[in-house]
Amino acid sequence: MLEEEIKKNINKCSRCALCVQNCPVYKIKKDENNTSRGLICKLAGYENGSLTKKEISKDLKICLNCSKCKHSCPSKVDTSLIFGYKNAEFSPSRISQRILLVLKLLPIKILYFLNFFKKHSFNNKTSEIAYFKGCVAKAQHKKTFLDNLFSKDEFLCCGMPYLAGGDLKNYNKSKKKNIEIIKKYKQIVFDCASCKSAVEDYNGLNEEEKNKLVFFSDFLDKKYKIKNNSKYKGKTVIFHKPCHLNNADFNKIEVLLKNIEGINYKRLDDIDSCCGFGGSYFIYHPVVSSVIASKKADLIKQSSADLILTSCPSCVIGLRYGQIMSFNFKKTLELRDFIENEIEISV
Ligand code: SF4
Ligand code: SF4
């Protein structure tokens, strides 16, 4: 069934190349083998027996799985499904990616230990809506206003790190458990664009269930004011659009930021450019990752922004990394934390 779905998507590609110019890896390497079209052609070659796994797996591994090609594809080819599963199939992990994830999150757990005692201010819980708290927010011991507003449930990791690392066993375990929980609620609220995108990509969720997945900014549709004592009052604020944030969610976030009195929201040039981090991507492909991150840092520098917001903790790290390399560092925060700490809001 899954294989059929993948084949169907490979065959849907019309080779139009509209995805090529949006691919962050192609922008650096200028090699068609690393674009969605190139990868799909090679996978079609594998299906008809003219290419081997070895001839494709190197190119598949360098794909960021950023979904930019999926978002720009007129034929609606589900490239995340194809590249995610084929990469895991061609380069299966020899060790449990779950153990690796726990190890990667350990320094964050220690660094943010004091957050465990932090208080938060809203208390309006609804039991029909559940909050999907990502692994990084959990490791940071963050009790955010979303914990207070919405139900907590035992969601597992969205699965993206497992799929990217070739660990289909843990990916399928996360997917199964999370789908069971999603079925119980009216809506599921996310604060991380990558988690939301990973869950939206689950085969096993029908359209109605996918429509339950929403971004927290959907609930913030009024005019707001920056706090009087905020150090960002009167400052220029930009937003980095994570590759996994779809245009509809981005448009709503932009409306929210424009509706905050007391800040000067400015759209960043080349808004769709990637931060280059991609989870563990920067460990396995440091050169490509660093070039992408530096380009992003240059755009940030040109914007003269005082504060950079985004909605994915991996992007926060990627943006900080790029700016440190470019010797131009501006405060970079998650949108959720900015809303909670700097905005006059009562929900
Ligand atoms: S935009 Fe879609 S249909 Fe066109 S080449 Fe890329 S993946 Fe294929
Ligand atoms: S997922 Fe991203 S990096 Fe991979 S081919 Fe598509 S646009 Fe390029």
Does residue 67 carry a pLDDT above 70? yes
SS3 221: coil
What distance in Å separates the CA atoms of residue 37 and residue 35, rounded to the nearest whole number?
5
Counting ligand 1 atoms within 8 A of each CB, the residue from 14, 34, 86 with the most, and so the one to mutate, is 14
pLDDT tens digit sequence for 142-199 = 778 888 889 888 899 999 999 988 899 999 999 999 999 999 999 999 999 999 999 9
What distance in Å separates the CA atoms of residue 143 and residue 71, rounded to the nearest whole number?
32
- Please state which of the ranges 38-42, 117-121, 245-249 shows the lowest mean pLDDT: 117-121
Domain boundary (69, 90, 111) is at 90
Residue burial 201-219, b: 16+ Cβ < 10 Å; e: rest: bbeebeeebeebbbbbbeb
This prediction has a pTM of 0.89
Environment class of 138 (CB within 10 Å of its CB; exposed 0-12, middle 13-18, buried 19+) = middle
Does residue 122 carry a pLDDT above 70? no
Q: Are residues 178 and 288 in the same domain?
A: no
Q: Are residues 185 and 198 in the same domain?
A: yes
CA-nearest residue for atom 6, ligand 1, is 19
pLDDT tens digit sequence for 292-339 = 999 999 999 999 899 999 999 999 999 998 898 888 889 999 999 999
Alpha carbon distances (Å) from 157 to 69, 94, 177, 336? 24, 20, 10, 19
pLDDT at residue 121 in the model: 53
Indicate if ligand 1 lies below 6 Å from the C-beta of 16. yes
Q: Which atom of ligand 1 is nearest to the CA of 72?
A: 1
Q: Return the residue matching tokens 């999926």.
A: 70
Q: Are residues 102 and 215 in the same domain?
A: yes
- Please state which of the ranges 39-53, 95-109, 229-243 shows the lowest mean pLDDT: 95-109
Q: Are residues 81 and 105 in the same domain?
A: no
Identify whether the C-beta of residue 65 lies closer than 8 Å to the C-beta of residue 87: yes
Counting ligand 2 atoms within 8 A of each CB, the residue from 69, 194, 275 with the most, and so the one to mutate, is 69
The CATH code of the domain that includes 47 is 1.10.1060.10
Q: What is the CA(124)–ligand 1 centre distance, in A?
A: 45
Closest ligand to residue 80's CA: 2
Question: Token pair of 132, please?
Answer: 């999907």
For 126, the enclosing helix (H) or strand (E) is: strand 126-132
Indicate if ligand 1 lies below 6 Å from the C-beta of 23. no
Q: Are residues 241 and 332 in the same domain?
A: yes
Q: Are residues 60 and 11 in the same domain?
A: yes
For 212, phi then psi, to 5°, come to -75, -15
Q: Are residues 203 and 174 in the same domain?
A: yes
Could you tell me what percent of the chain has a pLDDT over 70?
95
Does residue 123 carry a pLDDT above 60? no
SS3 166: coil
Q: Are residues 71 and 126 in the same domain?
A: no
Closest ligand to residue 13's CA: 1
Q: Are residues 206 and 153 in the same domain?
A: yes
Q: What is the CA(22)–ligand 1 centre distance, in A?
A: 11
pLDDT at residue 93 in the model: 77
Please choose, from the candidates 301, 282, 304, 279, the residue with its C-alpha nearest in 3D space to the C-alpha of residue 291: 282
Rounded CA Rg of the chain: 20
pLDDT at residue 124 in the model: 56
Number of folded domains in the chain? Answer: 3
Identify whether the C-beta of residue 268 lies closer than 8 Å to the C-beta of residue 297: no
Q: What is the CA(137)–ligand 1 centre distance, in A?
A: 35
The whole-chain average pLDDT of the chain stands at 89
Structure confidence at residue 125 as a pLDDT band (50, 70, 90): low
CB atoms within 10 A of CB 75: 13
What distance in Å separates the CA atoms of residue 296 and residue 317, rounded to the nearest whole number?
13
Q: Are residues 6 and 104 in the same domain?
A: no
- Its domain, for residue 120, covers 97-219
SS3 307: strand
Indicate if ligand 1 lies below 6 Å from the C-beta of 37. yes
Q: What is the CA(139)–ligand 1 centre distance, in A?
A: 38
Domain boundary (184, 200, 219) is at 219
Contacts of 99 (CB under 8 A, 6+ apart): none
Q: Are residues 213 and 229 in the same domain?
A: no
Torsion on CA atoms 191, 310, 137, 142, rounded to nearest 10: -90
pLDDT at residue 15 in the model: 95
Counting ligand 1 atoms within 8 A of each CB, the residue from 21, 35, 69 with the most, and so the one to mutate, is 69
Q: What is the CA(286)–ligand 2 centre distance, in A?
A: 17
The CATH code of the domain that includes 238 is 3.40.50.11810
Q: What is the CA(99)–ligand 2 centre distance, in A?
A: 27
pLDDT tens digit sequence for 23-44 = 999 999 999 999 999 999 999 9
What distance in Å separates the CA atoms of residue 73 and residue 2, rounded to the nearest whole number?
21
Instruction: Quote the crossing angle between the two packed helices 313-325 and 286-303, to the nearest 10°.
Output: 80
SS3 328: coil
Domain boundary (90, 115, 143) is at 90
Structure confidence at residue 127 as a pLDDT band (50, 70, 90): confident
Q: What is the CA(113)–ligand 1 centre distance, in A?
A: 45
Q: Are residues 105 and 214 in the same domain?
A: yes
Structure confidence at residue 114 as a pLDDT band (50, 70, 90): low
